[in-house]
């Protein structure tokens, strides 16, 4: 911890050279739901750069869900915090200074709704993770079976879901002044703008007739939902980063944010009531965000998941420690090049070789030390966005995606380990909303015993873990089960070797078949 004798970071104690935006924003134009590290190291930094270029009424009011830690610290520090940009070659500390306030929705629900309804609020942004959208894994629509969703629809208490908060805030806005507004998702969902619009509209359609009829026409005409892709590796805050701020700025910061140097933001330019000049902060605007989304969700996030699960099972605390293991690096290259890459179209302005090289450099950033337990958490929601479509593409073409199967096998060994198998402390520390449910399934059909493996994995897939499509391919479940058995009996390195060997065998057979066809033709 930094010495307590140092002054606390604030408006008068922050060194001017560290400020990302030198004038405190006087007006709030953006309300952001999800006051976590990612928002503070990504959207806030891009906004500071935009305002440094062109001033405007674009201060950010941050809203935490339930935790008071960050919001309280920001208030004590007069909305100042540091971003510690770190790589093996250098460390740079900056203070974005673009927040105008910090609320906690669980404690100040009316204030949150008033902020969403305020006439000066032109953009509502959100980073609440995939889990925060309360959608059904099967339909991708709003999960009307969830008690918290039903409670928000009844409206007899302040809304607790993100979608409920947005709709109730938009209701107040409609009744007060009906000015246009944009809702911008910054989470890792394919078509996150369309997905958010669908959930908001489904919630509104489920309201009582009088409320629905008042809200829906305005919602259709005055509220836009552009899609976006966000990319930056942002680990959890530790004392290492507090000490870095103390050493470089001479102040105490309770909530600094570590981040890698790389940052990317791609958006559709469909804003109903204006926006900051984010292009001056490095953001890219395009009419088609999906290729960038898929590039990131699969090549970065999908591969990242495999690295995290194999690394955790191998006892590696951090992603750099994991990717330094040759068998994990080889598995990462295989799943990226052979299984994810064929499932997407690379945007024309992206140099693929350079992009992939950067990915491995980013994963190997030993100075940052992103933890396997953090990357591996919430896999039941994340993998549903990453694995099914590429896996189905290969399965329908008659190819077994061995490394996608390895991803699922390693995930299940981490969060729902077979009885008698210990995945290690890194895996045990992963947080996952489906952990208990999956454990109850694998407990009924213990994974790791040869006779029950395929049945157990089929039961897991039938539970909706990866949607419905993969349940039609029992061979995929069998392959996952085989790899679980290898992990349990021989460890993750043996499972990666098994997956790689199966790919090599399949390739050899394909070459042999092609040569046979060519010889017959001659």
Prediction pTM value: 0.91
Burial class (CB in 10 A: 0-12, 13-18, 19+), 92: middle
Both tokens of 430, joined, read 């992963």
pLDDT in tens, 263-301: 999 999 999 999 999 999 899 999 999 999 999 999 999
Name residue, tokens 């935790």. Answer: 67
pLDDT attached to residue 137: 74
* Contact in structure between 256 and 83 (CB atoms under 8 Å): yes
Q: Is the pLDDT of residue 451 over 70?
A: no
| Fold observed for domain 16-285 | Rossmann fold (3.40.50)
Average confidence (pLDDT) over 180-200 = 96
> Tokens standing for 262?
């790389």
Give 453's pLDDT tier (boundaries 50, 70, 90). low
* pLDDT at residue 449, as a whole number: 52
Confidence label for 519 from pLDDT (cuts 50, 70 and 90): low
Model confidence at 518: pLDDT above 50: no
pLDDT at 468: 86
Q: List pLDDT tens digits, range 349-359.
A: 999 999 999 99
In whole angstroms, give the CA distance from residue 462 to residue 448.
18
pLDDT over threshold 80, residue 516: no
Q: How far is CA 318 from CA 242, 331, 337, 366, 376, in A?
A: 19, 17, 23, 8, 11
Mean pLDDT of 416-426: 92
- 165 vs 368, residue with greater confidence: 165
Task: List, as own/partner pairs, every contact residues 107-111 make where C-beta atoms lie below 8 angstroms and the sequence separation is at least 24, other chains included.
Answer: 107/68, 109/158, 109/159, 109/165, 110/158
Residue 420: its pLDDT value, please? 86
Is 275 or 463 the better-scoring residue by pLDDT?
Answer: 275
Which pLDDT does position 438 carry in this prediction? 92
pLDDT of 445: 57
Percent of the chain with pLDDT over 70: 94
Taking the CA of residue 291 as centre, how many other CA atoms within 13 Å lie in the half-sphere pointing to its CB? 12
Assign 511 a pLDDT band (cuts: 50, 70, 90): very low
DSSP 133-147: G-B-TTTSSB-TTSH
Has residue 459 got a pLDDT over 70?
yes
What tens digit of pLDDT does each residue of 128-154 get?
998 899 998 778 899 999 999 999 999
CA angle 406–412–417, rounded 5-degree value: 125
The pLDDT score that the predictor gives to residue 32 is 98
User: Residue 479: left if φ>0, alpha if ψ -120 to 50, beta else—which one?
Assistant: alpha
The highest-level CATH class for domain 290-513 is mainly alpha
Domain boundaries, the chain: 16-285, 290-513
Give the mean pLDDT of the chain. Answer: 93
Q: What is the mean pLDDT of residues 330-355?
A: 97
Name which of 186, 188, 216 is nearest 200 in CA terms.
216
């Amino acid at each position: 911890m930094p010495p307590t004798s140092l002054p606390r970071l604030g408006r008068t104690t922050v060194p001017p050279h560290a400020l990302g935006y030198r004038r405190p924003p006087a007006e709030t134009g953006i309300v952001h739901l999800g006051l976590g590290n990612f928002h503070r190291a990504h959207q806030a930094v891009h906004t500071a750069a935009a305002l440094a270029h062109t001033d405007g009424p674009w201060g950010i009011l941050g809203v935490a869900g339930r935790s008071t830690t960050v919001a309280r610290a920001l208030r004590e520090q007069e909305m100042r915090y540091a971003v510690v940009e770190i790589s093996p070659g250098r460390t740079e500390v900056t203070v974005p200074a673009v927040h105008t306030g910090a609320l906690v929705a669980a404690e100040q629900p009316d204030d949150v709704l008033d902020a969403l309804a305020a006439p000066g609020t032109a953009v509502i942004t959100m980073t609440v993770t995939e889990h925060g959208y309360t959608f059904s894994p099967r339909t991708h629509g709003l999960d009307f079976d969830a008690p918290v969703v039903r409670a928000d629809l009844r409206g007899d208490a302040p809304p607790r879901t993100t979608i409920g908060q947005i709709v109730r805030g938009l209701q107040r806005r409609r009744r007060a002044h009906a000015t246009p507004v944009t809702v911008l998702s910054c989470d890792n969902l394919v078509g996150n703008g369309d997905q958010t619009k669908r959930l908001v509209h489904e919630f509104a359609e489920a309201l009582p007739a009088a409320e629905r009829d008042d809200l829906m026409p305005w919602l259709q005409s005055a509220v836009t939902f552009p899609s976006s892709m966000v990319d930056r590796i942002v680990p959890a805050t530790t004392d290492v980063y507090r000490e870095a701020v103390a050493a470089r700025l001479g102040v105490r910061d309770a909530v600094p944010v570590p981040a890698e140097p790389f940052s990317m933001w791609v958006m559709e330019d469909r804003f109903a009531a204006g926006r900051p000049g984010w292009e001056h902060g490095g953001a890219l605007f395009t009419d088609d965000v999906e290729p960038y989304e898929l590039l990131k969700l699969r090549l970065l996030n999908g591969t990242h998941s495999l690295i995290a699960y194999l690394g955790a099972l191998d006892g590696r605390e951090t992603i750099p420690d994991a990717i330094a293991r040759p068998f994990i690096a080889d598995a990462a290259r295989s799943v990226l090049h052979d299984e994810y890459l064929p499932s997407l179209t690379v945007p024309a302005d992206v140099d693929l070789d350079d992009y992939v090289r950067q990915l491995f450099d980013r994963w190997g950033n030993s100075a940052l030390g992103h933890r396997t337990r953090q990357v591996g958490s919430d896999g039941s929601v994340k993998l549903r966005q990453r694995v099914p479509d590429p896996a189905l593409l290969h399965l329908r073409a008659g190819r077994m995606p061995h490394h996608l199967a390895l991803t699922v096998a390693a995930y299940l060994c981490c969060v729902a380990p077979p009885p008698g198998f210990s995945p290690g402390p890194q895996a045990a520390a992963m947080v996952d909303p489906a952990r208990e449910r999956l454990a109850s399934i694998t407990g009924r059909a213990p994974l790791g015993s040869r006779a029950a493996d395929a049945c157990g994995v089929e039961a897991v897939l039938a539970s909706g873990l990866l949607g419905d499509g993969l349940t039609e391919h029992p061979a995929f479940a069998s392959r996952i089960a085989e790899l679980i058995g290898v992990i349990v009996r021989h460890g993750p390195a043996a499972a990666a070797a098994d997956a790689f060997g199966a790919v090599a065998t399949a390739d050899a057979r394909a070459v042999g078949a092609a040569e046979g066809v060519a010889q017959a033709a001659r």
